Amino acid sequence: MTKIIIALTGAAGAGKDTVADYLVHRHNFKKMAFADVLRKEVCDAFSLDESVFTNRETKEIETSKLMLIYCKNVEFISFVNKETGSNETSFNYCPRSPRWIMQCWGDFRRAKQPNYFINALKNNLQATDGNIVISDLRFNNEAVAISGKPYRADIWKITNPRHQPRSSHLSEAGIDQYFIDRWLDNSGSIQTLHDLTELFYETVLWGAEAPAPCSEAAV
């Protein structure tokens, strides 16, 4: 059976993880993210548990745990100081939010190797059996990498009018509409989002041959 790969894109807070978790629990998808390697590296650099970077309630909250002086990667500190134009020592003593650190770390890696996170995810795709949902498609080059053979991922954009973009960072700019296969409107309840996810999944699974729902009279 052909492996199904669904990639989710959308602004922070749009509902990507909610959709991904539904596919994991309902249909046994394996959940992956381009940021999996990023989070591991940041955790190692700051000697922190991954929960610091995955907790939705605290992603935007600045914490002294993430001051640059606590980072063990000197190259990263130099990169951030150069990119921000800061030469003041006090800059490295400022508390930072998990999202800010992760965005900077992504810039740091991509500055040297544009496909750094793409290559890491491709290796995981090849090594994993079963269907896969990618929960954080953010850049056009990521869409290109998984849109061609041997992958051909189905790309869903999730929109949520209740959550406006929280950052002007490039990772929140969105991908070109050309890459998007389906639009998922998350303006209703969680149940509605789950129902739409189920409908989209069945469409991907069956394509043009999707069976029509059975009526009680036909049973």
- pLDDT tens-digit profile of 6-30? 999 998 888 999 999 999 999 999 9
Here the CATH number for the domain that contains residue 171 is: 3.40.50.300
Helix (H) or strand (E) holding 192: helix 190-206
pTM: 0.82
Q: CA angle at residue 206 from 203 to 207, to 5 degrees? A: 65
List CB contacts of 57: < 8 A, sequence separation 6 or more: none
42 and 190 in contact (C-beta within 8 Å)? no
How confident is the model at residue 171, as a pLDDT?
A: 67
Domain that holds residue 123: 1-219
Each residue of 56-115: pLDDT tens digit?
888 889 999 999 999 999 999 999 999 988 877 889 999 999 999 999 999 999 999 999
Cα 151 to chain center, whole Å?
Answer: 18
Each residue of 201-210: pLDDT tens digit?
999 887 744 3
Structural domain count, the chain: 1
How far is the first Cα of the chain from the last one, in angstroms, to the nearest whole number?
29
